[in-house]
Structure 1
Amino acid sequence: PARAKETLPDSKERMAAADAELAVLTKERDTIVASSAYEVAYGVSEGTPVNARVQKRGEPDKPGDEVPRRFLEVLGGDEVSQPAAGSGRRELAEWLTRPSNPLTARVFVNRVWQWHFGRGLVATSSDFGTRGELPSHPELLDWLAARFMKTGWDVKSLHRTIMLSRTYQLSSDDHEGNLQRDPTNVLLWRFSRQALDAESIRDSILAVSGMLDPTVPREHPFPPVDQWAFTIHQPFYATYDSQHRSVYLMLQRNRRHPFLSAFDAADPNQSVAERLPTITPTQSLYLMNSPFVHQASAAFASLLIKDEGNPEARIRKALQLANGRPPESADIAEAMEFLRDYQSRLQAIAASGHDPEAEAWSAFARVVLTSNAFLFVD
């Protein structure tokens, strides 16, 4: 007992130090939680698996026989191991990507090819069955699928393989003999000219004009669950300005983005295997009159005026940034003539508070950002 009394003060000091350290750590934890270090997002979580029951006449309040959980067997192939617990999503994914099933890899490779060339090796990208079209280059499709699986489903390696190929690097120039034999370019004797998709057009305008926000975006302006009061007649609409890439925009099924919908963005209400590009007057009118395009043009012009003092150097930089290639002498001469004519007209009618030079360069920037050279990939 005497010895215990001697060590008791030391134990109290250690307990006090531990309590103080715990208080500091607790305060740090509360600070981290209060600062929302982790964003909240909707996701899928594992639940307790249960067997379904046959609903008599389709009525949920009249359950019938119990149906044990199983995977589809009518499609044939290897059997899927039935998990004792869990949803079975992992087992299904492993079954779809098993080495003895090249179909998944072939479909994936075909979608990537379609993304780069505008048309898949199998034109019916969502139908590889008997009702779909046969592949135009079956050996190439099989080779790419086999290589894709061999590299561990490495998507970057697949992109690199396609983009470093001679086929991808071909020009889009026509050849009279080839055009007569293969007008739709099924045999890939040239690169088919493609229009940029809606997201790429918007992102390119933001990037070239210097307006693109490269920071990590915050959460979407969606109200908390306890504040929901939406009805079919008063749905939720998220209206907010964003200069981040289009992939970060909030997708609303009941109210599509005006810019993206005008340029054939995918309909979020259905599965879209292939976008069908259109050329409509609405697109031209949007590019000419949209406040977004005018704002980007003014920002682009300000960037050119600030960085380059020589008009020819400004033109060269503008066309290089927008088109990704050095401009030709004829392009520079035509741009110089446009700027002189536009600025002289503005000076003749300019009111107070206007800057003819800035407005002329803004108009030139708008021409560049709405040109076919900017909107199409050759």
Structure 2
Amino acid sequence: VLRNVVQPLEAELASANRELHEAEKRIDPLKTKLEMDRSAENEAELQAARREVDRLRQKRDAVQSRIPRYLKAYAVSEGKPADARLQRKGDPRQAGPTVPRGFLQVLGGQRLTDPNAGSGRRELADWVIQANTPLAARVLVNRVWQQHFGEGLVRTPSDFGSRGQPPTHPELLDWLARFIIEDSGRPWSLKRLHRLIMTSATYQQAVVADESALNRDPRNELLWSFRRRRLSAEEYRDALLMTSGVLNRSPGEGHPFPPEPFKFTQHKPFVAVYDTPRRSVYLMQQRIKKHPWLEVFDGADPNAITAQRPLNTTPIQALTVMNDPLVHQLAERFAERLLNAAATDQSRLDWAFGVLLCRAPTEPERELSLAFLQEVRESLGESQQSGRDAERAAWASWVRTVWAGNEFVFLD
């Protein structure tokens, strides 16, 4: 279909775009000519040129509408295999001897058995994950450990060499690496690795205050307590979507990008934000600009490799949770769920605390919440808002304070 239908139409579209571009180039000179001599002949020539542009634009749009929409992705294809030559002093003009394609000498130094078989990408992947060189497995399990505990067994996740820090638990690191390589159920399964870590007694610990242990191990390298960890930007957004009842668990789909051909340039780049109720892993990312929510809550730089994210606590974060339009919309949805789930303030507090914090409210929290709700209701009454709308607004204001609190934002 691509070869027989799409490619001929795309060639026709390219030709139509060239015709349109040439016709559009005639407009400005004709405008200048008319300004210098406003004769009927020049006016007629300009109008004729504009009609021609309109005709060619309609022709271009008609061809474009006939092209079937299909998913596209950047990919690579096999080319003619060739070995690179050494560049003396890094100068490409001073080519040295040919270097046969192969793996790093320090990790085995394997060579291609058939240099003419292809690019060697498949062989490179096999060399990286070979069982007798478990470096890739160690790096992988360390990254997964870091995601769950905030810090990896190796504190320098992108440097396992001499300049990096040694692992705090070398035997555990090697055991996990061996587990993911030799797992009889499904080797290299991240799902099984996540399950193994999250069902362990170490992960299921709570944050505890132990002065004796703190004095002996102030950095908690022995993992005598769970490390309190702030939710990542993506986790935080997903938690808001889930507790508000808005989260769409279905896989992501294509984004509504502008139609081709693109006319973006270095000085007029493509910038957009596409809201979605799906998980944050499906957010559209662009290299030149962070998503607004991810930027506020220390999301990774999409233009760089980020092994460890910075952790900042700023007033902007609290202001975002209290004032962001998305948070207000989700708070309204949560309040509507709450009003439908329970009939009294006491039962609504029990339901809300169970959904948001997975526990019942304490008496001081209950008294503080009821006083807050009463104050908001009085304020809404002064603004002539009453009935169910006022109740929804009061509870929406209350839930935003919980969403901004440490107990919701931190995992302990």
Same fold (TM over 0.5): yes
Structure 1's consecutive aligned runs of 4 or more residues displaced over 6 angstroms after TM superposition are 54-60
Tell me the C-alpha RMSD between the 2 structures: 2.6
Greater relative contact order, per chain length (Cα 8 Å cut-off, separation 6+)? 1
State how far apart, in whole Å, the 2-side matches of 1:323 and 1:179 are: 27
Distance in 2 of aligned mates of 1:375 and 1:261: 16
Matched, 1:262 2:296: yes
**1:206–1:212: 8 Å Cα contact kept in structure 2?**
yes
Unaligned runs of 5+ in 1: 1-32
In 2, Cα distance between equivalents of 1:214 and 1:34? 32
Counterparts of 1:35 and 1:309 in 2: how far apart (Å)?
53
- Residue 48 of structure 2 is matched in structure 1 by none
Matches within 5 A, 1:71-86: 71-77=102-108, 79-83=110-114, 84-86=116-118
Matching residue within 285, 294, 298 for 2:319: 285
Deviation for aligned residue 1:279: 0.6
What is the CA–CA distance in structure 2 between the aligned matches of 1:68 and 1:162, rounded to whole Å? 43
SS at match of 1:259: helix
Residue from 232, 236, 243 that aligns with 2:270: 236
Give 1:40 deviation, angstroms: 2.5
Q: Is the alpha carbon distance of 1:172 and 1:352 closer, same or farther for their aligned partners in structure 2, counting shifts above 3 Å? A: closer
CA distance in 2, matches of 1:192, 1:76: 34
User: Displacement of 1:288 after TM fit?
Assistant: 1.7
1:214 aligns with one of 222, 244, 249 = 249
C-alpha separation between the residues in 1 aligned to 2:353 and 2:341?
Answer: 14
Deviation of 1:69 after TM superposition, in Å, equals: 4.4
Higher mean alpha-carbon deviation, 122-131 vs 43-52, is at 43-52
Give deviations 1:5-63, integer Å, cap 9, x for gaps: xxxxxxxxxxxxxxxxxxxxxxxxxxxx9875x63322333333234456799787x69
- 2:54 corresponds in structure 1 to none
Percent identity, aligned pairs only, is 44
SS at match of 1:105: helix
How many angstroms apart in 2 are the aligned matches of 1:288 and 1:109? 37
Tell me the residue number matched to 2:193. Answer: 158
Q: CA deviation at 1:223?
A: 3.6
Find the residue that maps to 2:252 and give its secondary structure.
Answer: coil
Match of 1:113 in 2: 145
Q: Distance in 2 between matches of 1:55 and 1:179?
A: 54
Where 2:74 maps in the other structure, the secondary structure is coil
In the TM superposition, 1:212-361 aligns within 5 A as 212-225=247-260, 227-347=261-381, 349-351=382-384, 355-361=389-395
Q: List runs of 5+ in structure 2 lacking aligned partners.
A: 1-65
TM-score by length of 1: 0.83
Question: Which residue in the other structure is 1:8 paired with?
Answer: none
Residues 96 and 55 of structure 1: CA distance in aligned 2, closer, same or farther (over 3 Å): closer
SS of the aligned residue for 1:208 comes to helix
Relative to the length of structure 2, the TM-score reads 0.76
Contact 2:338 2:348 in 1 (8 A): yes
Letter in 2 for 1:304: L
> CA–CA distance in 1 between the matches of 2:361 and 2:352?
9
Deviation at 1:198, TM superposition (A): 0.3
Instruction: Give matches, 1:359-374, under 5 Å.
Output: 359-374=393-408
Q: How many residues align?
A: 343
In 2, distance between residues paired with 1:311 and 1:91?
64
Q: Give the whole-Å Cα distance in 2 for the aligned partners of 1:51 and 1:174.
A: 59
From the superposition, tell whether residues 255 and 321 of structure 1 become closer, same or farther in structure 2 (CA, over 3 Å): same
Q: Quick check: 1:167 aligned with 2:202?
A: yes
Report the Cα offset of residue 197 of structure 1.
0.3
Range with greater deviation from structure 2 (48-57 or 82-91): 48-57
Q: Give deviations 1:257-278, integer Å, cap 9, x for gaps.
A: 1110110001111111111211
